[in-house]
Amino acid sequence: MNNFPLQKLMLTVVGLLLLTAGVLTVLMPASLADGQRRLERKRQDLDRLAEIRRIVNEQTALQAVFDRLEASQPAPLDTILHAAVPGLRFDLSDLGQGSAADGWRWERTSLILKTISDRDLIRLVGALELQRPPWKVVALNIRGGPQTGQVSQVSLTVETLIRTKP
């Protein structure tokens, strides 16, 4: 009889443990599903961040190509034009500029050429695009002459990148 209070205490403790175990067991499916849902959401977030990271890496890689160039800007347009097609008549007009990624800006220029042959036009475009950084022809408009193979006017929109920081 002496150990009755001890037994009672033990039974109470065991009962409480069983009750707790029971409650945890009842709650387990719901919390398991909730835990899995949370982990799944986190994994999806990480996948999406990896996708964003891939885009950022691509952007950084693009810039790195230009960062490695020695020249901070291409040769002036008129110099290239005269060198490619001596005696060429042209009109240049500035279309604007803006900032690009860190340490760079872009500059766009309109170029109107008159009386140029197909061959000269190809040579000229080649000379512009071979610059490093290139004068990229982003748009080209040709108006033909009355005869086959004749060109009366060519409009070019060219864009280049200029490094602003050493």
Partner 1 sequence: MNPEILRAWAVSRICLGVDAGGREIRVVRAVRRGPWRVWAPMELSSAVQAAGAARGAPAVAAGLSPRECLARWVEVPLADRGKARRVLPSLLDVDLPFPLETCEWGVAAMERATPITCRGLALAARREDITRRIDDLKAAGFDPDILDSEALALWTQARQECGPATAWRMVAQAGDDRLTCVVGHGTAWVAAYTTLQPQSGALVNWLKSVLPVPNEAVEWIWCGSGLRGQGGTGACRPDLEARFPGPSREVDRPEYFLARAYAFRALAPDALPCNLRSGVLTAVRHQRRHERRRLQLWLALGVVALLWVVLNLVWRHEINGVNDALQHRITSEAGVLAGRPLTREKGMEVRMAERAVQARGPAYLPFERALAPPILGSLSTLLQLAGAQSIQIEELNLEGKVVTLTGSGPDWETCEKFAQRLVEAGYRNHIERRDAAPAGRVGFLLKPEGGG
Which parts of this chain interact with partner 1 (CB under 8 A)? 7, 10-11, 13-14, 17-18, 20-21, 24-25, 28, 31, 35, 38-39, 42-43, 45-46, 48-49, 52-53, 55-56, 59, 62-63, 65-66, 99-102, 104, 106, 118, 121-122, 125-126, 129, 133-134, 136-144, 146-149, 151, 159-161
Neighbouring-strand partners of residue 91:
112
3-state DSSP assignment of residue 57:
helix
Q: What are phi and psi of 100, to 5 degrees?
A: -100, -155
Minimum CB–partner distance for residue 92 and partner 1 (Å)? 18
Closer by beta carbon to partner 1, 55 or else 165: 55
Minimum CB–partner distance for residue 70 and partner 1 (Å)? 16
Q: Are 156 and 137 in contact (CB under 8 A)?
A: yes
Minimum CB–partner distance for residue 113 and partner 1 (Å)? 13
Query: Cβ contacts of residue 100 below 8 Å, gap of 6+?
Result: 106, 161
Closer by beta carbon to partner 1, 79 or else 150: 150
Closer by beta carbon to partner 1, 35 or else 76: 35
Q: Are 100 and 161 in contact (CB under 8 A)?
A: yes
Minimum CB–partner distance for residue 102 and partner 1 (Å)? 8
Query: Cβ contacts of residue 66 below 8 Å, gap of 6+?
Result: 104, 133, 161, 163
Q: Are 121 and 156 in contact (CB under 8 A)?
A: no
Minimum CB–partner distance for residue 147 and partner 1 (Å)? 7
Paired tokens of 68:
């490695």
